[in-house]
Amino acid sequence: LGNGDIWVASDAIRMVDETGCDGVVVGRGCLGRPWLFGDLAAAFEGEAVDSAPPVGEVVHTMRDHARRLVEWHGETVGVRDMRKHVGWYLQGYPVGPAARRRLVEADSLEAFEARLDELDPTIELPADALGLPRGHQHGPKPVTVPDGFWSDRDDPTPLGRGADVVVSGG
């Protein structure tokens, strides 16, 4: 499995093409972008993807997410937990810092939803913001594979003991 830097569907396709891996692991790339999984399925079926929904669709998803958190954790904890997701959902969208601040300052589901309704639903994600990383970033890590991997990827002989030591994946 290929792991790391899957921010848009084309990243997954590139990883599979470049490494020959059988699948990809999505981590931080789905933070605030739950539609990434649908994009991945479409891309692996040969469809062109790598677009983002307008703010109106993002707001719909945020509202559903907040309601589910409140249902599960109760209003105080659910709304507080939703705060960390606001930045991920709206990353790259030109909604302005005041709108983000108002959302994270909401202290009830009603207030949160009212502030979501203030966002312009027609705002689109700028093309250059599509693949912005989310979550903690410490710079890209180079792909590391065990010694001898590239010499014959079709060789069924298992790699030697300890070959995975240099490729911990994390």
Q: Does 50 score more than 80 pLDDT?
A: no
97 within a domain of the structure (yes/no)? yes
Q: Are residues 72 and 14 in the same domain?
A: no
131 within a domain of the structure (yes/no)? no
111 within a domain of the structure (yes/no)? yes
Under 8 Å between Cβ of 149 and 115? no
pTM (predicted TM-score): 0.71
pLDDT number for residue 30:
82
129 within a domain of the structure (yes/no)? no
Which is more confidently placed, 31 or 73?
A: 73
Q: Are residues 118 and 76 in the same domain?
A: yes
Q: Does 137 score more than 60 pLDDT?
A: no
- 7 pLDDT tier (thresholds 50, 70, 90): confident
pLDDT number for residue 113:
98
| Number of domains present in the structure of the chain | 2
**Best-predicted range by mean pLDDT (74-83, 131-140, 141-150):** 74-83
Helix (H) / strand (E) containing 155: none
Q: Are residues 72 and 30 in the same domain?
A: no
Q: Does 136 score more than 60 pLDDT?
A: no
Q: What whole-number percentage of the chain has pLDDT above 70?
A: 79
Domain with residue 82: its CATH number is 1.10.1200
Q: Are residues 73 and 36 in the same domain?
A: no
Q: Are residues 39 and 85 in the same domain?
A: no
CA distance 116 to 87: 13
14 Rama class: left (phi>0) / alpha (psi -120 to 50) / beta: alpha
- Tell me which residue range forms the domain holding 73: 55-123
What is the average pLDDT across 78-96?
93
151 within a domain of the structure (yes/no)? no
3-state secondary structure 10-21: HHHHHHHHHHCC
Q: Does 124 score more than 90 pLDDT?
A: yes
143 within a domain of the structure (yes/no)? no
Phi, psi of 26 (to 5 degrees): -105, 125
82 within a domain of the structure (yes/no)? yes
- 170 pLDDT tier (thresholds 50, 70, 90): very low
